[in-house]
Amino acid sequence: MIDTVREIETPEGVCLRLRAAGALPRAQAWMIDLLLRFAFLIMAMIPLGLFGQGGKGLALLLMFALLWGYSVVCEVWLGGQTLGKRALGLRVVNADGTPVTWLPSVVRNLLRVVDALPGVYGVGLACTLMDPYARRLGDIVAGTMVIHAADLPAGQEIPALAALPLPLVLASDEQAALIEFAERAGQLTAQRQEELANLLTPLTGQRDTAAIRQLVGHANWLLGRA
C-alpha cells in the first residue's frame, strides 16, 4: 500500500481515516518550533540580563523548560499541536485517534533523544521511512502518530445537468466510479476528460464532449436529481 491512511474503528462502528504525516512536513514543523523557541529565549535574555547572576539561573531554567517541556505542554494543551505543527496543519494523536495525553506525549518527546541520534535525526528519519504510518521510534513506544489535521481539498459539486436514466443496471462500484468521474472531471484537463469518457462509448454511444455531458447526466440521475 502506498496509502498512508490508517483506519481506526470507533465505538460507533464506523471507520475513521487518519492520514499519516511524512518526514518532510514534520521536519519543517520542528524547524519552526526550534526557531520560535530560540527567538523566545533571546527575547527573554534581555530583561533577565539585568538581574546579573540570578538572571543567568533563571535563563537556564527557561532553557530547560523550552528544551524538555515546550513540546509536551503545547501538545497536551493545544490539542496535539505545537505551534510549528499548527502552522503546517499537523496533529499528534493517540492510537485511538484522540489528541495526545500527558504520558504518551512525555514518552515521545523524551525519546526524541534517540531519534535524533547521529546528530541529524538519522534514526527518526530511517524509522519514518520504514514504518507504514511514518512513526519515529518515540511515536512507536508512546503509541502515538502524527497526522495531517487540515482537510483535503473537498470534492467538487457535480455540475447540475438534466438527469438521464441509465440504459442498464450497473453494479454499485461501477455507479460509484461514474459518480466519482463526474465529481472530479472539473479538476482534469478537457483532453483527459474526453479520453476517459470515450472509454464508455459502448454505454453512451457518444464521443468527446457529448459523452462527458451524457455521463454527468447519468451521474445526476444516480444522485437522484430531478
Q: Where do contacts with other proteins occur on this chain (CB under 8 A)?
A: 10-14, 16-17, 52-54, 56-61, 63-64, 67-68, 79, 94, 96-99, 101-104, 106-107, 110-114, 117, 137, 140-143, 151-152, 154-158, 172-173, 175-176, 179-180, 183, 222-225
Contact by Cβ (8 Å): 212, 182: no
Which strand (E) or helix (H) includes residue 7? Answer: strand 5-9
Nearer to other proteins, 27 or 117 (CB): 117
**How near is the Cβ of 103 to other proteins at its closest, in Å?**
5
CA distance 91 to 127: 19
CB of 92 to other proteins, least distance (A): 12
User: Which residue number, 46 or 191, has a Cβ lying nearer to other proteins?
Assistant: 46
Q: Which is nearer to other proteins, 63 or 208 (CB)?
A: 63
Rounded to an integer, what distance in angstroms lies between the CA atom of residue 90 and that of residue 13? 25
Count how many Cα atoms sit within 13 Å of the Cα of residue 92 in the half-sphere of its side chain.
34
**Which residue lies nearer to other proteins by CB, 180 or 201?**
180
Measured in degrees and rounded to the nearest 5, phi and psi for residue 6 equal -110, 130
In angstroms, give the least distance from the CB of 47 to other proteins: 15
Q: Nearest approach, Cβ of 207 to other proteins (angstroms)? A: 25
CB of 1 to other proteins, least distance (A): 18
- Which residues, including other chains, have CB under 8 Å from residue 124's CB and lie 6 or more apart? 23, 112, 115, 116, 136, 137, 138
Residue closer to other proteins, measured from CB, 58 or 208: 58
Nearest-10 crossing angle of helices 53-64, 23-48: 160
